[in-house]
Every structure is written in C-alpha cells, then in structure tokens.
Amino acid sequence: MTVLPVAVVISGRGSNMEAIVRASLSGTSRYRVVRVVADRDGAGGLTRAVALGIPTSVVPVKQFSDRAAFDAALAAELEASGAQLVALAGFMRILSAEFVQRFEGKLLNIHPSLLPKYKGLDTHARALAAGDSEHGASVHFVTAELDGGPVIMQGRLRLRAGDTPDAVSARVHTLEHIIYPHVCSLIAAGRIECRAGAVFFDGAPLTEPLIEENDAAA
C-alpha cells in the first residue's frame, strides 16, 4: 500500500491539524503527516504537533520583506518535506498566485462556511446575522481566488435559536475534524482528484460537494 506524504500548514491552535494527524495513526491510513509548518513561533498547534511526534518548522512571516519572499520560503520548506499533499488548516495568510500554481491540485483548505457563502472572515456571525438555518464548513482545493476553489466536501449543521458565534464555532469545529481527515483519506486512496480546476470523485466529475451531516454536532 502506498502512503501519501502530507504537510499541514497552520497559524493558530491547530485542532484540524491534530484531527488530520490522529486519523492517520491507524495502521490502515493511506496518508501520513510528514511535517507541520507554521508562519509564526507562537502558533499553539506547534506544541500539539510535537506532542504527536510530527516534525515541525516555522517560516516566520515577520522575517520576510514581502509576500513573494515568504511564499518562496514556504514553498521550499514544503517541497523539502516531500509532501505530495498540502493541507492549510487555520493558516491566516493569503497565498500568491505563483504559490498556488506551484501546488496546483495538491493544495487543500478548510473554510468555516458552506461555500460559496461567506468567503473571508467572521463567517459564523455573518451566518447568524443573515438568519440562516444551516451552516457548516467546506474543504476545497485552493485556487488563486480566496476561498474560491472547487469544494470537495461540506459538513452541515442546523443553526439554533439563541446560537452565538462561539457556540457555532465549537460545533463547526466538530464537523471540521471529521471532514478534513476524510478528504485527505479519499485523496490518498486516489478517489478524489483535481484536474484542470475540477474535482473528480471515483473518476466522474463531482457536481455537488460530498456532504457530512453529523447529528452529534448539529
């Protein structure tokens, strides 16, 4: 069985990174996490990664004069890791078109909304303010358009009367921790592919995202 080497890129606490790593620890996983890269020393997820026995690196954004220099250093670090799939997980920087092109079809992101709704920040507050009944998270391939790449899988939950952004965030995270490892496994198994900017599932174009509805989180 071939095992796909995966790198995870973080800026923050890294709970999605941890879920991706933990799901890979079973003997049957088709992927393994070879490196966790953060853009700052203080990213809480670095401590988690070390505790999980995963090699870590920091590409400190503050030390680079511009985005192109930072992106080049990040790309070099990821390529040196041998990763064939890169999962952005709470990575708070916008990557250049050059970077995205370099990792085309091998670069994933998770976004806390049902894309194409609520690209950008404050997604939970925006969904609540709009009175939406449904919300969730999306795993997508990354393209040069922010939060605009083709969606692979969504986790969906129902919003409740009295919900706050923090309460929703906790439930969305529960779903994220299911869907992100699941997508990594499907890619590692060769069941999901990105060709010419479109997602293929078991060889056929994916016309709607795969859906995970989790009652425990909903």
What string of H, E and C letters represents the secondary structure of 119-154? Answer: CCCCHHHHHHHCCCCEEEEEEEECCCCCCCCCEEEE
To ligand GRF, the closest distance from the beta carbon of 203 in angstroms equals 29
* DSSP conformation class of 190: T
To ligand GRF, the closest distance from the beta carbon of 12 in angstroms equals 4
- Find the catalytic residue in 111, 124, 135, 182: 111
* Amino acid letter for position 138: S
Look up 111 and say whether it is catalytic.
yes
To ligand GRF, the closest distance from the beta carbon of 190 in angstroms equals 25
Residues 203 and 15: their CA atoms lie apart, in Å, by 31
Residues 200 and 213: their CA atoms lie apart, in Å, by 21
Residues that bind ligand GRF (CB under 6 A): 12-16, 89-90, 110-112, 137, 173, 176
Q: How far is CA 143 from the centre of its chain?
A: 13
Active site residues per annotation: 111
